[in-house]
Amino acid sequence: LDFFHGFYAEENLVGNLASMSTSERIKAIQKMPETMKKKREIRNKVLKEITKKSRHRSIRVSCCRHCLQATVLSFRRFGNSLSGYFYLLHLWHKALKIIGAEFGTSVLSYFIFLKWLLTLNIFSFLINFSFITVPQFVAAEPNNLSFTGLELFTGAGYFQQTVLYYGFYTNATISKTENGPSYNMQLAYIFTIGIYFVICFLILLFSMAKSFCRNFINPQTYSGNGSRLLCTWDFNITNEKAVKLKQKNLSTQIKEGLTEVNREVLNFSVKERVVRIVIHLVSWVASLGTAVAACAGVYFLSVNLQLFVKGHKNDLENQAAMLVLPIVTSLFNAFIPFFYSWLGHLERFQTPGYQIYVTITRNIILKISIIGILCYYWLNVVATSESQCWETLVGQDIYRLVLVDFIFCLLGSFFGEFLRRIIGSTVCVSLGLPEFDIGRNVLDLIYAQTLTWIGILFSPLLPGIQMISFSIVFYVKKVSLMMNCQPPRKVWRTAQMTTSFMFLLFFPSFLGVLSVIGVTVWRLKPSEKCGPFRGLSSMYAAVSEWIKILENYTASKWVMWIYHNLITSELFFFILSVLVLIITYLYWQIIEGRKTMTKLLRKQIIN
């Protein structure tokens, strides 16, 4: 009886699934509490049932329609067969699982953030290449400059007359035939970059909101380790290696949760508190003074290098001088964070989380200040100089900064982790193996992404270069982590760490970039002899002239409404700014609320 009951139940299930649409059927099969093998069997039976029904209907349809249905069904079967294995195509899926199991969620958050930035740069590169670079190939003139190889490091020379830089793009309307469709390069350039930044703004807001809901608002965050132990096992896992990896990952998560629950609150005497406050104040004064000194050095060096290049006609000397500024800047960004890490160890915070957040704050002040000084130099010194194409010069500076920063990132993995492991395991055993510096590495990513965002206007293909560098950095950091580093000595849970990274990327990085791009587009005069906006009073003047043309067409009234009520409206940007401030305020309120809830839960567990 049980056999016949199960048989008829399965027949009814197959019939119900066959009557569903494709998307509903796939979702229903995925939600079944069955093994992957059983799900595939049910899916195949459903497809056979659909094939039988289509054969009965084929009597009434024509031969052509029958062939079309058979073709669609074949593609559907092929897609369904691939869906079962689609998870294997997820970028670095296995590598992230191994890192999370071995080193915990704190180190894993860095690699998840790196993967997210790589995806963002792939999206940016595809947009710029499709709507800016590809049309330029139609109107491109032959490059008469010779390639020497030094261009790979300096970004000048042969690359100056390629689609890599702003100055190579035409200001004409591109058309293959006289009466055929045309492509306005000015509008394509400014609208592509403008829409991209709007999309980035929405993506960052969505990512932060999604991370908030998952890590701060979701009540499952406070469900405890018992539910994690009893209710989170995936019974579809049958591979032995996958089972061991899942066990290790679950064990690490439980350790992190127990560490947070059992965290002791240290009580200090009045004298000890005063000493700790003095140490914190001295550390902050030292860190801020170092950042100010680094910014001053970068500015004076950049101004003097410009005078040096003007006074020397030797091409080799000029190309060598071009690399001085990015090398010095990268040296500051590479060695000062080690000083900040030393200050963090000197302050002796109660938890590793506090130390990482303080280190990240000091690093973000340093790196954003250096970028701010460079932007001031580009917009107030380079843009007002007598050079024929100042936008290309800025693009070359950013290209060199990105390239040298990438090289220093690779060297940091070798000297900062590999040699440190050799010293800690052979020369000075008491030091032990190094730990992965999350704060310093995360700020390196934010610094590189900020340079990429600024450089998009002056070098549209810069996201492609950053895409390659992030891919290499992921594998180098992963190998260095596995070979040279040890798991954190203090296991701690960092569910909100990725959210903090997103917030730092949004403010001050992304909002600061929008300010720089806004000043460049609205206030600065483009070069007279290069680029798509040559001859205009500003880059934005191209949009104003286009709007004047559209005023003569009644079908374009909706465009006029958007232009007058949103783009040129101070009220719209005021409301947008208020929304950003409210989101920032809510972010900190949620963090404080979460801390309060965690303390209450800890007291309840202890009682």
- With contact defined as beta carbons under 8 Å apart, do 447 and 371 qualify? yes
**Cis previous bond, 508, omega within 30:** yes
Query: Higher-confidence residue: 325 or 311?
Result: 325
Q: Where is 582: in which H helix or E strand? A: helix 570-606
pLDDT above 90 as % of the chain: 27
Q: What's the 3-state SS for 325-355?
A: HHHHHHHHHHHHHHHHHHHHHHHCCCCHHHH
The predicted-structure confidence for 245-262, as pLDDT tens digits, reads as follows 666 666 666 665 555 555
Q: CB–CB of 189/531 below 8 Å?
A: no
Is 173 in a helix, a strand, or coil?
strand
pLDDT at 196 over 80: yes
Rounded distance between C-alpha atoms, residue 357 and residue 497, angstroms: 9
Average pLDDT rounded to a whole number, residues 357-381: 91
CA atoms within 13 A on the CB side of 85: 4
Tokens of 408: 């220093």
Furthest-apart CA atoms within the chain: distance in Å: 98
Instruction: State the Cα–Cα distance between residues 294 and 370, nearest whole angstrom.
Output: 7
| Stated pTM of the model | 0.76
Residue-by-residue DSSP string for 348-360? T-SSHHHHHHHHH
Rg of the chain over all Cα atoms, to the nearest angstrom: 29
| Whether residue 3 has pLDDT greater than 50 | no
pLDDT digits (tens, 9 = 90+) for 122-156: 999 999 999 999 988 887 777 888 888 888 888 88
Instruction: Evaluate whether 470 touches 118 at the Cβ level (below 8 Å).
Output: yes
Is pLDDT larger for residue 448 or for residue 38? 448
The arithmetic mean of pLDDT across residues 410-421, rounded, is: 82
Helix, coil or strand: residue 486: strand
The secondary structure element, H or E, covering residue 269 is none
How many C-beta atoms surround the C-beta of residue 310 within 10 A? 12
CB 111 within 8 A of CB 482: no
Least Cα distance to 367 among 347, 340, 344 occurs for 340
* The residue to which tokens 């693009």 are assigned: 395
CA atoms of 158 and 94, how far apart (whole Å): 41
Helices and strands in the chain, H and E counts:
23, 2
Contacts for 6 with CB less than 8 Å, ≥ 6 apart = none
Please work out, in degrees rounded to the nearest 5, the angle formed at the alpha carbon of residue 371 by the alpha carbons of 369 and 374. 110
DSSP state of 527: P
Report residue 589's pLDDT band, with 50, 70 and 90 as the boundaries. low
Angstrom CA distances, 224 to 105, 145, 256, 260, 441, stand at: 17, 66, 11, 11, 31
The 3-state DSSP class for residue 184 equals strand
Q: Report d(CA 79, CA 83) in Å as an integer.
A: 6
The pLDDT value given to residue 590: 66
Closest CA relative to residue 545, chosen from 557, 553, 536, 534: 536
Element holding 314 (H helix, E strand): none
* Bridge partners of residue 173, in order along the sequence: 184
pLDDT at residue 426 above 60?
Answer: yes
Is the pLDDT reported for residue 513 higher than 80?
A: yes
Tokens 């001085």 belong to residue: 324
Angle formed by the axes of helices 240-261 and 224-231, nearest 10° = 170
Residue 286: exposure state from Cβ atoms within 10 A (0-12, 13-18, ≥19): middle
Mean pLDDT of 21-30: 76
Q: Which residues on neighbouring strands pair with residue 174, listed in sequence order?
A: 183
How far apart CA 327 and CA 324 sit, in angstroms, is: 5
Residues 6+ apart with CB under 8 A from 527: 167, 387, 388, 389, 390, 391, 534
Backbone angles phi, psi at 143, to 5 degrees: -90, 120
Confidence of residue 107 (pLDDT cuts 50, 70, 90): confident
The Cα 135–Cα 185 span in angstroms is 8
Residue pointed to by tokens 């000194």:
293
In eight-state DSSP terms, residue 526 is P
Q: State the DSSP H helix or E strand holding residue 475, giving kind and residue range, or none if neither.
A: helix 462-484
pLDDT, greater one: 540 or 210: 540
| Residue 63 banded pLDDT, cuts 50, 70, 90 | low
Can you give the pLDDT at residue 581? 76
Q: Which residues pair with 183 in a beta bridge?
A: 174
